[in-house]
Amino acid sequence: MLKLASLSLSSPVVLSPMAGISSYPYRKINRKMGFELAYSEMISARALSYLNKRTMELLKSSDDDRPLGIQLLGKDNRYILKALEKLKEYKFDTLDLNAACPQKKITNNGKGARLLKDPKKLNSLLRCMIKNTSKPVTLKMRLGWDSSKDAVRIALGAQDAGASAIYIHGRTRMQGYNRAVDYRSIAKVKKTLKIPVIACGDILSARLAKKMFDETGVDAVAVARGALGNPWIFKEIHELIENNRFISRPGINEVKSLMKEHLGLCVKFYGEKAGVVKFRKFYIWYTRGFINVRALRTKIAQVTKISQMHSLIKASVPI
Ligand SMILES: Cc1cc2nc3c(=O)[nH]c(=O)nc-3n(C[C@H](O)[C@H](O)[C@H](O)COP(=O)(O)O)c2cc1C
């Protein structure tokens, strides 16, 4: 069991936040596969405190979308406080602070992984969140900013500040996504902390999830890119870690039926045109490796109607 303070979870697998992806339809389609905790994408505390329209859309959810974590991005306690005030109108189960985003436009602004260079500020933000919410507060971090890899020190600081768990991506900010995940450094953090550690980085298959558990001893893993076009990864991971069994990939009818369901959720959530446009990238992920996919992908940029997307799904041929 994974315990984030008062929040008890029986699944040690989490849906990791992804900007531009982790909206309600995406969380809902993945939830069919059996894990419990899913996250919103990072939400700017400043934008939230100004009730920015696009930001408010990121918070849309429903009772079948729980347990839900909201991830905040920020560098200023004033905006964190205002954001927490706005969040009182929403139902969610845990809050996370983003100290992991490596993008220049975020870090140049002092947010995301840039906080790893300023643990004092990071801990002050965490303390502010912990003091002003009744929900468990976690920290999502990388191994450090650069090769100094001060993850243990930063994670211990967060634990002392009262964080309920640490999410750790096994690369530094400077490594982006280029280097191999550093399992040993994650293991060091896990060994040192008393609070749960949730690891992410290249959980692209059940085998890699098991490797993460085996080599680091972490309490849970968070799946990000591995779920794109493959929500079944959650079933595969559970089956491997619980029963030591590999399950076969879904048949084409199951894949197409899930694609249609996902498309339907997007259309219901965003309206027909916007929903179909949002689904285009998922179509590409679902059909990776299909035979005739090149020809179909050239057509996808013109597709704006649900009937057109259904025709593309129908015409997709697996290997
Ligand atoms: C397109 C994309 C968007 C992401 N957005 C967020 C985000 O909003 N918040 C966050 O903490 N991490 C974000 N991440 C990082 C993932 O949650 C995860 O930590 C990282 O991708 C490593 O896991 P993976 O190798 O399994 O993808 C994002 C990753 C991708 C690929």
Reported as a single tens digit per residue, the pLDDT across 199-248 is 999 999 999 999 999 999 999 999 999 999 999 999 999 999 999 999 99
| Nearest CA owner, ligand 1 atom 14 | 18
User: Residue 297: pLDDT above 80?
Assistant: yes
pLDDT, tens only, 75-111: 999 999 999 999 999 999 999 999 999 999 999 999 9
* pLDDT for the residue numbered 148: 78
105-158 pLDDT, tens digit per residue, is 999 999 999 999 999 999 999 999 999 999 999 999 999 999 877 999 999 999
- Give me the catalytic one of 101, 128, 200, 266: 101
C-beta separation of 155 from 189 below 8 A: yes
Burial zone of 80 (CB within 10 Å; 0-12 exposed, 13-18 middle, 19+ buried): buried
Query: Is 200 among the catalytic positions?
Result: no
User: Options 3.40.50.360, 3.30.830.10, 1.10.1200.80, 3.20.20.70; which CATH number does 252-315 get?
Assistant: 1.10.1200.80
Fold (CATH) for 2-243 = TIM Barrel (3.20.20)
The pLDDT score that the predictor gives to residue 228 is 98
Which atom in ligand 1 lies closest to the alpha carbon of residue 42?
8
Q: Is the pLDDT of residue 316 over 90?
A: no
Distances (CA, A) of 15 to 26, 58, 66, 219: 10, 16, 12, 14
What pLDDT does residue 75 have?
98
Task: Check if 201 has its Cβ closer than 6 Å to any atom of ligand 1.
Answer: yes
Domain ranges of the chain: 2-243, 252-315
Question: Is the distance from the beta carbon of residue 121 to the nearest atom of ligand 1 less than 6 Å?
Answer: no
Indicate the DSSP class of residue 282. Answer: H
The Å distance, Cα 193 to ligand 1 centre, comes to 23
pLDDT tens, residue by residue, 14-42: 999 999 999 999 999 999 999 999 999 99
Distance 311 CA to ligand 1 centre (A): 31
Pocket lining: 93 vs ligand 1, CB cutoff 6 Å: no
- Amino acid at site 82: K
Residue 175 has pLDDT above 90, yes or no: yes
The CA-based angle 97-106-16, given to 5 degrees, is 45
Distance from residue 100's CA to the centre of ligand 1 (Å): 9
* Ligand 1 pocket, residue 23 CB under 6 Å: no
Distance (Å) from CA 231 to ligand 1 centroid? 16
> Is there an atom of ligand 1 within 6 Å of 200 CB?
yes
Q: Higher-confidence residue: 68 or 148?
A: 68
Q: What is the whole-number distance in angstroms between the Cα of residue 71 and the centre of ligand 1?
A: 12
pLDDT for 72 beyond 80 = yes
Ligand 1 pocket check for 99: Cβ under 6 Å: no
- With a cut of 90, say whether residue 292 has pLDDT above it: no
Residue 224 CB less than 6 A away from ligand 1: yes
2-243 and 252-315: identical CATH topology: no
Q: Is the peptide bond before 67 cis (omega within 30 degrees of 0)?
A: yes
From the CB of residue 162, how many other CB atoms can be counted at a distance below 10 Å?
16
